[in-house]
Amino acid sequence: MNIVPSQLTLSGGDRLLSQLRTGAMDVAQGFMRYELWSSLAQDDLRQRYRRTVFGLAWLTLSYLVFILAKIFIFGALNPAPMAWFAAYVTVGFLVWQLLNSFIIDGCTSLINSETWVKGVQLPYSTYFYESISRDLIIFAYSAAVAAVVLVLTGHLPGWAALSVPPALLLIILNGFFLHMLLGIICLRYRDIVQIVQTAMRVLFFLTPLVWTADQVGSLAGFLVWNPFTYLIDIVRAPLIDYRIPYTSWAVCLGMTAGLGGVSFLVFSVFRNRLAFWY
Amino acid sequence: MSSVEIKDLCVRFRVYDKAAGVVSPDGAGVFSQRGNSHHWVQALSDIDIELAEGQRLGIIGRNGSGKSTLLKVIAGLLPPSEGVVRIDGQVSSLIDIAHGMRIEATGERNILLRGMIAGLSKREAKERISQIADFAELGDYIKLPVRTYSSGMAMRLNFAIATAFSPDILIVDEWIGAGDLAFQKKARERMQELIDASGALILASHDLELVERMADRVLWLDAGRIKALGPARDVIEHYRDTVES
């Protein structure tokens, strides 16, 4: 059962301008269904942890275990003070986890929504919002742990921390663009899902998360080519070093604009063909 | 106001499987090829229909002739490859009513979600829960996850949700019956009510008697093209003669 908006004109072979317009309508109308996608996201998570005793507390627990292991193993190898390094790993991994989930879930959000796309007429962006809000709920559970670690290691927020909320907003915006772009590409070419998953596992080690740039010598020069370096820096630096990294901000804003343009174009142009790619 | 206007509609499916064929069953969408690598199924060609307020259109034709594809295009689930589809009024489709059921969620939660999908606000959907649950006659099962239901119970819930809202334009793919004998009677009555309340009806079915009873005009599709479009009795008679000969 589904009800379509009361005035609708569908036509084949649209021009680019009207494709862009329907693409923008999709993004806006999808957002307006916030009651729906936030409920769907909650259901997704409940389903994942159904009949477990701890339920969603597993999100907190698994994050805690993971960072503790990393702090002890990699902290032993790092010359920096333990308290600082613990905060470094905690915040870095928190942001990495969010970006990673945006990318991995972005690849599969449309693929996994097959029965919905075929059965009900919803704006496609609804599925992106659902996936993003699910990732953000997971993020919130981990962020609570990160906050505790920051306090315990003596990293109380300073003035620079005011730049963290806008930094997170920018990351979420990137998450939306990644969903649009990867969702469509992966729906058409399913191998990309596997390629991206493999790449992300490798990138984890190529991003300064469990090691610091001064540890790797000349290899640090390659970090300028890793976009994750900047996206993590804009959240991590204000929290643990009490400074706003303006260069990273500039790079992030540029990347977001570029990614946004490409994603929106791809989404708008291929939106009409999605239904045939299942 | 409810109307549907379809002009020069074509729908093509790209076939991605490597071994695309060339032979399709009689009366079904035909394969076509562009270059060496692009295979297509021409599912619908040159469809022109106008449906005004209060009209009931029946669609008949062999398996694969494009009935469901046409319904999906009108419901907005598939985009036209060519042509224009203009729809004025709220469309509601009972094409595959099982879609969008979450078996891990409770019956109540499913009613809420599906209500929101249908365009209700969370509060409006909440208000409808008890009414829909009553119709499905599930008692306290409505508070349990759908996976604990028998298949008949799940169908009843599905039917109750799918038919809970009366739209301007109703699209039905095959007549939907659900549940045991007692519920089937209730389901029939509900379908009739829904049809009476809707501004326009489009019904695809192989049940010719049903189509003749429900529709005033009938569209006969064959291999994705309009073979005949006219008064229900004439078209159905013509179809019967062709099939029997």
CATH number, domain containing residue B214: 3.40.50.300
Place of tokens 């806008």: A166
Closest CB to A43: pick one of B79, B89, B102.
B102
Same-domain status, B107 and B136 = yes
ipTM of the modeled complex: 0.85
Which among A1, A9, A272 has the least Cβ separation from residue B94?
A1
Confirm if B43 and B12 have CB atoms less than 8 A apart.
Answer: yes
**Per-residue pLDDT, B34:** 63
CB B232 within 8 A of CB B223: no
- Those residues whose C-beta lies under 8 Å from the C-beta of residue A212, and which sit 6 or more positions away, are A78, A80, A85, A88
User: What does the pLDDT average to over A49-61?
Assistant: 86
Task: Summarize pLDDT for B11-52 with one digit per residue, the tens.
Answer: 988 777 766 566 777 777 777 766 666 778 889 999 999 998
Using alpha carbons, select from A187, A145, A181, A121 the residue that is nearest to residue A58.
A145
Q: Choose one of B165, B195, B217: the last residue of a domain.
A: B165
A202-223 b/e (C-beta count within 10 Å ≥ 16 → b): ebeeebbbbbbeeeeeeeeeeb
Q: What's the rounded Cα separation, in Å, for the pair A271 and A275?
A: 8
Is-contact A255 A99, C-beta < 8 A?
no
Greatest CA separation for chain B = 59
Is-contact A236 A86, C-beta < 8 A?
Answer: no
A99: nearest Cα among A56, A143, A130, A132: A132
- Strand pairing report for B3-15 and B82-88: antiparallel
pLDDT of residue A1: 42
Q: Minimum mean pLDDT among A97-106, B32-41, B80-89: which range?
A: B32-41
Which comes out higher in pLDDT, residue B18 or A264? A264
Asked if B80 lies within 8 A of A11 by C-beta distance, the reply is: yes
Residue of B39, B47, B99, B172 to mutate for A, most A C-beta atoms under 10 A: B99
pLDDT at A52: 86
Do B58 and B132 belong to one domain? no
The dihedral built from the CA positions of residue B190, B191, B193 and B198, taken in this order, carries a sign that is: positive
Are residue B157 and residue B222 in the same domain, yes or no?
Answer: no
pLDDT at A97: 96
Q: Which of B141, B165, B189 is the last residue of a domain?
A: B165
**Residue pLDDT, tens place only, A70-101:** 999 999 888 999 999 999 999 999 999 999 99
Tokens found for residue A63? 């994050």
- Specify if B182 maps to a domain: no
Domain boundaries, chain A: 16-277
**pLDDT for A8:** 64
Q: How confident is the model at residue B167 (pLDDT cuts 50, 70, 90)?
A: confident
B112: contact with A, CB 8 A cutoff: yes
Question: A218 and chain B: CB distance < 8 Å anywhere?
Answer: no
Chain A interface disruption, residue of B5, B77, B168, B191, most A CBs within 10 A: B77
Contact assessment for residue B63 and residue B243, using Cβ atoms and an 8 Å cutoff: no
Q: Nearest Cβ partner of A1 from B88, B114, B168? A: B114
**N residues, chain B:** 245
Helix axes A227-240, A82-112, angle to 10 degrees: 140
CB contact under 8 A, B165 and A121: no
Predicted local distance difference test score (pLDDT) of residue B25: 76
Residues B85 and B127 in one domain: no
Same domain for B84 and B103? Answer: no
Q: How confident is the model at residue A14 (pLDDT cuts 50, 70, 90)?
A: low
Domain co-membership, B82 together with B18: yes
The domain tally of chain B equals 2
Share of chain A above pLDDT 70, in %: 95
- Dist CA A122 CA A109 (whole Å): 14
Classify A134 in phi/psi space as left (phi over 0), alpha (psi -120 to 50) or beta: alpha
Q: How far is B65 from chain A (nearest CA, A)?
A: 18
Are B126 and B74 contained in the same domain?
Answer: no
Report how far residue B73's alpha carbon sits from residue B95's, in angstroms, rounded to the nearest whole number.
11
Confidence category of residue B193, pLDDT binned at 50, 70, 90: confident
Residues B7 and B85 occupy one common structural domain: yes
**pLDDT-wise least confident of A68-77, B99-108, B176-185:** B176-185
pLDDT at residue number A12: 62
Q: List the strands of the sheet with B3-15, edge to edge.
A: A7-11, B82-88, B3-15, B38-51, B30-34
Cα B158-B159-B165 angle, rounded to 5 deg: 105
Quote the mean pLDDT of chain A.
91
Contact status, residue A66 vs residue A93, Cβ threshold 8 Å: yes
Give every strand in the sheet of B169-173, ordered side by side.
A3-4, B91-94, B169-173, B200-204, B56-61, B217-222, B225-231
Q: Does B6 touch chain A (CB under 8 A)?
A: no
Q: How far apart are CA B98 and CA B168, in angstroms?
A: 22
Determine whether the interchain pair A50/B104 forms a contact, defined as Cβ–Cβ distance below 8 Å. Answer: yes
Interface mutation vs chain B, best among A25, A36, A51, most B CBs within 10 Å: A36
- Inside any domain, residue B14: yes
Instruction: Kindly state the helix (H) or strand (E) to which residue A173 belongs, with its residue range.
Output: helix A164-188
Residues B213 and B155 in one domain: no
CA end-to-end distance (rounded Å), chain B: 42
Task: Look at A128-137, B190-199, B210-219 and tell me which has the smallest mean pLDDT.
Answer: B190-199
Q: Is residue B194 part of a domain?
A: no
* Domain carrying residue B153: 98-165
Identify the band that residue A141 occupies on the pLDDT scale cut at 50, 70 and 90: very high
B184 domain-assigned: no
A126: nearest CA in chain B? B117
Do the chains contact at A43 and B105, CB–CB below 8 Å? yes
Q: Please give the structure tokens belonging to residue A97.
A: 């986890």
In a domain? residue B185: no
Answer yes or no: is B212 within a domain. yes
Report the Cα A153 to chain-centroid distance in Å.
26
- Cβ distance A8 to B76 less than 8 Å, yes or no, reads yes
Residue B121 at interface with chain A, using a CB cutoff of 8 Å: yes
| Domain presence at residue B197 | no
Nearest-neighbour CA in chain B from A41: distance (Å): 11
CA dist B87 and A6 (Å) reads: 7
* Whether A107 contacts A182, CB under 8 Å: yes
Over residues A200-258, the pLDDT tens digits come to: 999 999 999 999 988 888 878 888 899 999 999 999 999 999 999 999 999 999 999 99
Q: Give residue for tokens 């035909």.
A: B30
